[in-house]
Every structure is written in C-alpha cells, then in structure tokens.
Amino acid sequence: PTGVLLPKEELEAAAAMCAAAGTWLILDNTYEDFLYEGRSHHTVSGPNVISVFSFSKAYGMMGWRVGYIAYPGQQLLQQAGLEHDNLGEQLSKVQDTIIVCAPQMSQQLALAALQEGEQYVRQGVAGLSHN
C-alpha cells in the first residue's frame, strides 16, 4: 500500500477517461477504512467501474479470503449502451480461479463484523494512528 488517497474529483475524472476509452476502471478499496487527519474515502460508480472490497485489513481477517466486488448491473450497462453479456457470470469465472468459496466460518464472521458496524473498524484503525 502506498498510502495514496485519491480525491473524489480525480476518481471521477479517471472513471470518465476510462469510459471514453471503452475500458474498465477497477478500484481496490482494501484500505478504505484507514483514514487519518480528517480525510475521507470516496469511490465512484458507473457502467465501466468495478470496485473490489476486502475484510482482510480493517476487520483483521487476513488470509480468510473474504471480500466482495461491486459492479454495474445489466440494466445500467444497457442504459449506457454497453454490451457485456452476463458480467456477473464472467466475474464469477475469475473468482472461481482464485478460491472456490470462502469457508463457512469466515463468511459467518464477516457477516457478524458487518452487523457490528463501523464502530468496530474505527476503534481498530484509531489504534494505528500513532504509528
């Protein structure tokens, strides 16, 4: 990790450039919760944007292989005039080569972490601010 936090305007400009070029913008949001000095994280959405999220860092689940991908649905793709047959199915093929499925225990703990809410993450990250 570089510690770089791109401003919302730069992310939006990158998404627009990728859209104009007909290519994907893939955003790695693994460190989205590691914010200090009043800074805030932004992500963008659009018919050419895929966002990757992970539980490994903020929730302390390194090696548990739990995360998720946010991608445009078929309706948004069609509204934008893009032809991507079954994008979700295509992404599942990529995921399948990484790990077939996370263990049930990992999935249950990730769900519990989400239900606990942002306070859990904020407390853990706050302890790192002095490093």
pLDDT tens-digit readout, 112-124? 888 887 777 777 7
pTM, two decimal places: 0.74
**Sheet architecture: strand order including 25-28:** 25-28, 49-54, 67-70
φ, ψ of residue 80 in degrees (nearest 5) = -85, 0
Contact 29, 51 (CB under 8 A): yes
CB neighbour list of residue 62: distance below 8 Å, 6 or more residues apart:
56
Q: For residues 117 and 22, what is the distance between their CA atoms, to the nearest angstrom?
A: 37
pLDDT tens-digit readout, 36-95? 777 777 889 888 898 888 887 777 777 777 888 888 877 777 776 766 667 777 777 765
